[in-house]
């Protein structure tokens, strides 16, 4: 079946880089996504990568995709207190449904 796995917690010092990792099982995934959720809020699409790409950079965000290992990562450079949130890795499967992981809670240390 389809599954998206990610670690539940990450603590990073302000100004350092954060790297959130994710693995997925569906090799036919077309798009992979990173969503951000702040307390009490809905999901905000941060970035996405098409499955035939291996890297995408967007300002402080870098997404790396290793399709062979089905591994996706999100790097946030110069992490700020406003980056504190839950980050969800997600894949779009062959049926055009987005399947989410359980989320990684990013905690910023002063």
Partner 1 sequence: DTGVSQDPRHKITKRGQNVTFRCDPISEHNRLYWYRQTLGQGPEFLTYFQNEAQLEKSRLLSDRFSAERPKGSFSTLEIQRTEQGDSAMYLCASSRGQGYGYTFGSGTRLTVV
Binding site for partner 1 (CB under 8 A): 4, 30-31, 33, 35, 41-45, 48, 88, 90, 92, 95-103
CB of 45 to partner 1, least distance (A): 5
CB of 16 to partner 1, least distance (A): 26
CB of 57 to partner 1, least distance (A): 18
Closest CA to 99 of 37, 24, 48, 10: 24
CB of 13 to partner 1, least distance (A): 25
In the bound state with partner 1, the residue whose beta carbon lies nearer, of 13 and 97, is: 97
SS3 state at 100: strand
SS3 state at 83: helix
In the bound state with partner 1, the residue whose beta carbon lies nearer, of 60 and 100, is: 100
DSSP string, 35-75: EEE-TT--EEEEEEEETT-SEEEETTEEEEEETTTTEEEEE
């Amino acid at each position: 079946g389809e599954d998206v796995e990610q670690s539940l917690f990450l603590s990073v010092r302000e100004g350092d880089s954060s790297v959130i990792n994710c693995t997925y099982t569906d090799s036919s995934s077309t798009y992979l996504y990173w969503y951000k959720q702040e307390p009490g809020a809905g999901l905000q699409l941060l970035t996405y990568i098409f499955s035939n790409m291996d890297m995408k950079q967007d300002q402080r965000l870098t997404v790396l995709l290793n399709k062979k290992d089905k591994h996706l990562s999100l790097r946030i450079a110069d992490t700020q207190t406003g980056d504190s949130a839950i980050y969800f890795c997600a894949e779009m499967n062959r049926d055009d449904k987005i399947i989410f992981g359980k989320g990684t809670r990013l905690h910023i240390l002063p």
